[in-house]
Amino acid sequence: MKRIFVILSFLAIVQQSYGLPAFVPLSKRALQSQVVLVAEVISSRSQTVNKTIDAAELVLSVQKILKQPQSIRIPKKINLHFALYPDSYESKMRTTLPPGKYFVFLNVETIKKDKPNLFIFRLYEPNPFSFAEWNREDEIILKESL
């Protein structure tokens, strides 16, 4: 009996390491992100690249900017391109978003070449927590935490 318990405990621990990371609350995501938006998904599509990866394109219409760096101007429309891992058990995105209103958590990477600098929006890490369905109550909580 004890041996079965040890084996089941080991399997439970190993299985947890292949799932999504622990849930990250919205307020913590907002503090760890450089950009927090309320945006509407205008269109989303994905295309198979190979048997493990799909390429995704998401077109967002920015409704509100809750947080942004002072040096960056956020456009009203943003195209995001990122990889999907549909059959993966890692902490990666598996599907694109359906149309709707979402909180979007992004970070900004600056590429310094010739003037002007290039700003690239990157999804919050871990990627599955880059988006959260919008609701008014959560927006009020996020505004207070920022």
Q: So what's the pLDDT on residue 35?
A: 95
Please indicate, yes or no, if residue 116 is contained in any of the structural domains.
Answer: yes
Please indicate, yes or no, if residue 133 is contained in any of the structural domains.
Answer: yes
Please indicate, yes or no, if residue 8 is contained in any of the structural domains.
Answer: no
Residue 47: C-alpha distances to residues 34, 44, 56, 88, 139 (Å): 29, 11, 7, 16, 32
Please indicate, yes or no, if residue 1 is contained in any of the structural domains.
Answer: no
Is the pLDDT confidence value at 141 over 80?
A: yes
Please indicate, yes or no, if residue 4 is contained in any of the structural domains.
Answer: no
Q: So what's the pLDDT on residue 72?
A: 86
Q: What's the CA dihedral at 129, 134, 139, 143 to 10 degrees?
A: 40
Three-state SS at 33:
coil
CATH number of 73's domain = 2.40.50
Please give the residue range of the domain that contains residue 120: 22-145
- Residue range 124-134, pLDDT digits in tens: 988 888 999 99
Task: Give the side-chain half-sphere CA count within 13 A for 136.
Answer: 0
Q: So what's the pLDDT on residue 23?
A: 81
Please indicate, yes or no, if residue 114 is contained in any of the structural domains.
Answer: yes
Residue type, 107: N
Domain total for the chain?
1
Tracing tokens 């010739």 back to the chain, one arrives at 114
Residue type, 7: I
Question: In the predicted model, what is the mean pLDDT of the chain?
Answer: 84
Q: So what's the pLDDT on residue 101?
A: 96
Q: So what's the pLDDT on residue 20?
A: 58
CB atoms within 10 A of CB 103: 23
Q: So what's the pLDDT on residue 8?
A: 58
The pTM of the whole model exceeds 0.85: no
Tracing tokens 């048997």 back to the chain, one arrives at 51
Please, are residues 36 and 105 in contact by the beta-carbon 8 Å criterion?
yes
Residue 91 DSSP symbol? S
- Residue range 3-32, pLDDT digits in tens: 665 565 555 555 555 555 678 888 999 999
Please indicate, yes or no, if residue 71 is contained in any of the structural domains.
Answer: yes
Average pLDDT over residues 91-102: 86
Please indicate, yes or no, if residue 6 is contained in any of the structural domains.
Answer: no
